[in-house]
Amino acid sequence: MTDGPLVLGVETSCDETGVGIVRGQRLLADAVASSVDEHARFGGVVPEVASRAHLEAMVPTIERACREAGIRLADLDAIAVTAGPGLAGALLVGVAAAKSLAVALGKPLYGVNHLAAHVAVDIVEHGPLPEPTLAMLVSGGHSSLLLVPDVTADVRSLGSTIDDAAGEAFDKVARVLGLPFPGGPHVDRVATEGNSAFVLFPRGLTSGRDMERHRFDFSFSGLKTSVARWVEARERAGEPVPVADVAASFQEAVVDVLTRKAVLACREHGVDDLLIGGGVAANTRLRAMAQERCDAAGIRLRVPRPGLCTDNGAMVAALGAEMVARGRAPSALDIPADSSMPVTLVRA
């Protein structure tokens, strides 16, 4: 383990087959095979299609990662895999592949939590995580605020989405506006040409009573419905829909709530470092507003580069490498794929 443990990570929680290789805290390879184009015609991820795509992509993606890293499988110190949460069938493909590698190579297996891995990936980008760190994860399936004293063993949930996640709302609003799937990048792109104050859309769970009961929780279902009704009213009146302005106004509402609650959580828990991860963390407006509000509050902001925010094998390898380095016990070889794995369970 010259420079730290050499770990291969496998990620198959949704529609991307990711295989990453990390040595210590240095990223050697990040190979991803996405099936997003196969889902686009359905307007969303189809679990069975995703599972079959993982089966087809697994071996070639492992081989590509090894070539990029310049290593042989026999060189590895451990195998890490996303054990949950995620789509059950998709997770099963990755877990089965990782178990096979672990048995064939005689290496320890670490079944890790997908959300904790999104936190850990920033280690290969910006170095060791401050302890504690406040993490906000925003994606198609999750909108979570986490207090992270130790990413390998102690992750605490402060709040999460009670209905639609932020990324899910982006996809649904994109469909209403006639934009392609996945919606996030397209809304972000179109919004740059729009007026974010054109429509004042609602900010969910930010009223006085809501802040008492759901202080660090999120809700974007009402916002999505508000956008749809606004667009429908324009269309019924025979008026054109200003897509860029609506996209910018919707995006502003989402980003306003996310950053406001994240900074509040940092202040109330005495944490000076905020990390943002997940696919929506690639959003340019979210990054800009988070930086503005963190600077004003004296909080240090960490955001991985966009390619490490979306699902990837590097994040799984990074968390696995941290577990090996800290002497965490490996998982049993009969670990299940747990589609509803709680974020507080870092390792299966």
Give residue-wise pLDDT tens across range 144-169: 999 999 999 999 999 999 999 999 99
- CA-to-CA distance for 92 and 204, rounded, in angstroms? 35
1 pLDDT more than 60: no
Q: Are strands 154-160 and 273-277 parallel, antiparallel or unpaired?
A: unpaired
Element (H, E) at 301: strand 300-302
Nearest to 205 by CA among 154, 147, 143, 249: 143
169-214 pLDDT per residue, tens: 999 999 999 999 999 999 999 999 999 999 999 999 999 999 999 9
Q: Which residues contact 276 (CB under 8 A, 6 or more apart)?
A: 135, 136, 137, 138, 262, 286, 287, 290, 301, 302, 303
Is there a common fold for 6-121+312-325 and 133-306? yes
Q: What pLDDT does residue 46 have?
A: 86
Q: Are strands 16-23 and 26-34 parallel, antiparallel or unpaired?
A: antiparallel
CB atoms within 10 A of CB 66: 20
- CA-to-CA distance for 19 and 112, rounded, in angstroms? 14
Q: Which residues contact 207 (CB under 8 A, 6 or more apart)?
A: none
Domain boundaries, the chain: 6-121+312-325, 133-306
30-58 pLDDT per residue, tens: 999 988 778 777 777 888 888 999 999 99
83-127 pLDDT per residue, tens: 999 999 999 999 999 999 999 999 999 999 999 999 999 999 999
Q: Assign residue 310 a region (left: φ > 0; alpha: ψ between -120 and 50; beta: otherwise).
A: beta
- Residue-level length of the chain: 348
- Strand, coil or helix: 347: strand
Q: HSE on the CB side for 81, CA within 13 Å? A: 31
232-258 pLDDT per residue, tens: 999 999 999 999 999 999 999 999 999
Q: If you ran DSSP here, which 8-state letter would residue 85 be given? A: S
Q: Is 257 exposed, middle or buried (0-12, 13-18, 19+ CB in 10 A)?
A: buried
Nearest to 144 by CA among 70, 244, 217, 47: 217
133-306 has which fold?
Nucleotidyltransferase; domain 5 (3.30.420)
Question: What superfamily does domain 6-121+312-325 belong to in CATH?
Answer: ATPase, nucleotide binding domain (3.30.420.40)
| Phi and psi at residue 58, to the nearest 5° | -60, -60
